[in-house]
Structure 1
Amino acid sequence: MNVPDNRFTDKTVIVTGAGSGIGRATAIAFANAGAHVLGVGRREAALLETAREHPSVATFVADICADGAPEAVIEEAARWWGRVDVLVNNAGAAAIVPLGDVTGARITELFALNVTAPSLLARAALPYLREVRGSIVNVSSTFGHRPLPGGSHYAASKSAIEMLTRSWALELAGDDVRVNAVAPGPTESEALAAAGLPDEVVEKIKQDEAAQIPLGRRGTPEEIADWIVHLADPASTWLTGQILTVDGGLELT
């Protein structure tokens, strides 16, 4: 018998990058747990596909790197439901750019999305999170603490997210606002294709990654989403500042 999951009943959750992959799975998982969910992303059609999966998912189209966008996202959630209990900083980009090809503009663009935007979203959400003793869950990567030749600046941006997670956890502990992160290993998503790689290269990378993972396969978005929900669970009252790596054992190799 399926037991109803009501851990997040009447709570408001914001999920960025909710149009596909881990973001879509996370928005649906929180909705299944009773939350009101604001799914945020740049692609309206993709967000609407997510929303069709559950009636408790509302959508907000925004480029979170744009001036004023982080504040607009938080204000939209507050307008709908009057509160913000959880912020999931999932939106981000992977970038395979060898050092010899990197440009200042590419580095700036990558850090704007992977580091600056999550920081500004957290700042804008903070008054609401303090009021309800809420939580932030950042999405890092196994490459936030594992070298990635050819993708060093992507790895550095995720390493920054992990240090932000730990630092915010200490900074906000006095307000009972918890901050944790999940660090997924290679997961089925649109990230590789979105990085501009040809289909045959994407497929080769996927095969190579699966061969390196002790459990023998790439992860699914739903597997990552489950842990994001667990980290944000109001019952996890004594868990903060943690980086949970979910990568099929890749970190051990």
Structure 2
Amino acid sequence: MGSRFDGKVVIVTGGGSGIGAAAARRFAAEGARVVVAGRTSATLDAVAGSPGDIGTRVVDVSDEAAVTELVEDVASTYGRLDVLVNNAGAAALSTVEETTTELWRHITGTNLDSVFFASRAAVKHLRVTRGNIVNVSSVAGIGGDYSAVAYNAAKGAVSNMTRAMALDHGRDGIRVNAVCPSLTVTAMTEAFRATEGVSEAFARAIPMGRAAEAEEVGDVVVFLASDDARFVTGVNLPVDGGLTASDGQPELF
């Protein structure tokens, strides 16, 4: 691995598994001091056992005070903050009619409020380091899905927040981008992928014929956070095996 992040400090929310864990390991392998944050200490500790400098913080990412404290604590402890990866996520299948208020609050709190709270707290520190934010949105943030109204609403907001923050803070030297994965092999999607016919349907819809591996998305997160992407901001980058390349018309031959 290279050393693109030597001396830099990175926070990854939802860093205990999946895309967040994959990104955290890659950041650490490239020299960053990484803090993974999430609700479950056991999964965070497993990531912290990987090579490199990886610390942990147990945080409810939908809690405004807790997320603000996380950012301030990391910046104070390490003396700086260079990258914030807003990765924490939750998903559920339901139409607007079926979605309870409790489910709506859970999905939007985890996927959207967490991005707002962490980004708001981080900007003053990123302004000093000319750092950046990478949000983990979804193809559900750039197009609609059947029976996923809360998730689509939250991810759509994350995608447009990414654009808005990039506009607001470009002259501060802060870049803001997002990755937009399709179905990815993670613990969060395990039960969904195991549902009869689901994996086969996605394999037919995705031109590359399969779901993404978490590392394939995590590597793009790290690219966007690196100086290799130093003139890239306001982008919602599909990492979807070509899924969104289609205009929706069927394959006929």
Shift of the alpha carbon at 1:67? 4.0
Q: Which residue of 1 aligns with 2:111?
A: 114
Which residue among 227, 230, 245 is the counterpart of 1:252?
Answer: 245
Rounded to whole Å, the distance in 2 between the matches of 1:244 and 1:49 is: 29
After TM superposition, give the deviation of residue 78 of structure 1 in Å: 1.7
CA distance in 2, matches of 1:84, 1:49: 23
Separation in 2, partners of 1:198, 1:186: 10
2:173 and 2:164 map into 1 onto residues whose CA distance is: 14
Name 2:221's counterpart in structure 1: 228
2:189 counterpart SS class: helix
Aligned length: 246
* 1:215 has 2:208 as partner: yes
**Is residue 97 of structure 2 the alignment partner of residue 86 of structure 1?**
no
Three-state SS of the structure 2 residue aligned to 1:191 is coil
Name the CA distance, whole Å, in 2 between partners of 1:116 and 1:90. Answer: 12
The structural deviation recorded for 1:132 is: 0.5
In the TM superposition, residue 199 of structure 1 has moved relative to its aligned partner by 7.8
Q: Distance in 2 between matches of 1:17 and 1:179?
A: 18
- Which sits farther off after the overlay, 157-166 or 97-106? 97-106
Q: Which moved more, 1:64-73 or 1:16-25?
A: 64-73
Q: CA deviation at 1:234?
A: 2.4
How many angstroms apart in 1 are the aligned matches of 2:150 and 2:94? 8
Q: Which residue of 2 aligns with 1:42?
A: 39
In the aligned structure 2, how far is the partner of 1:77 from the partner of 1:240?
24
Q: Cα RMSD (Å) of the superposition?
A: 1.5
Which residue of the other structure, out of 136, 140, 147, is the alignment partner of 1:139?
136
Letter in 2 for 1:247: D
Is 1:160 aligned to 2:157, yes or no?
yes
What one-letter code is carried by the residue in structure 2 that aligns with 1:232? A
CA deviation string 1:51-103 (max 9, x = no partner): 11123111111111124111121123123311100000000111111233112
Structure 2 match to 1:20 = 17
- Tell me: CA distance 1:136–1:244, structure 2 relative to 1, closer, same or farther (3 Å): same
Q: Determine the C-alpha separation between the residues in 2 that align with 1:111 and 1:200.
A: 25
User: Tell me, what secondary structure is at the counterpart of 1:49?
Assistant: helix
> Distance between the aligned counterparts of 2:130 and 2:102, measured in 1?
38
Report the CA distance between 1:236 and its aligned residue.
Answer: 2.3
Tell me the CA shift for residue 106 of structure 1: 1.5
Aligned to 1:73: 70
When residues 237 and 199 of structure 1 are mapped into structure 2, their CA distance, relative to the original with a 3 A threshold, is closer
Q: Secondary structure in 1 aligned to 2:222? A: helix
Once the two structures are TM-superposed, the CA of residue 252 in structure 1 deviates from its matched residue by 2.1
The TM-score normalised by the length of structure 2 is: 0.93
Once residues 132 and 161 of structure 1 are traced to their aligned partners in structure 2, the CA distance between those partners, rounded to angstroms, is 23
Identity %: 39
Task: Name structure 2 gaps, 5 residues minimum.
Answer: 247-253
Specify whether residues 67 and 241 from structure 1 end up closer, same or farther in structure 2 by C-alpha distance, changes over 3 A only.
closer
TM-score, structure 1 as length reference = 0.93
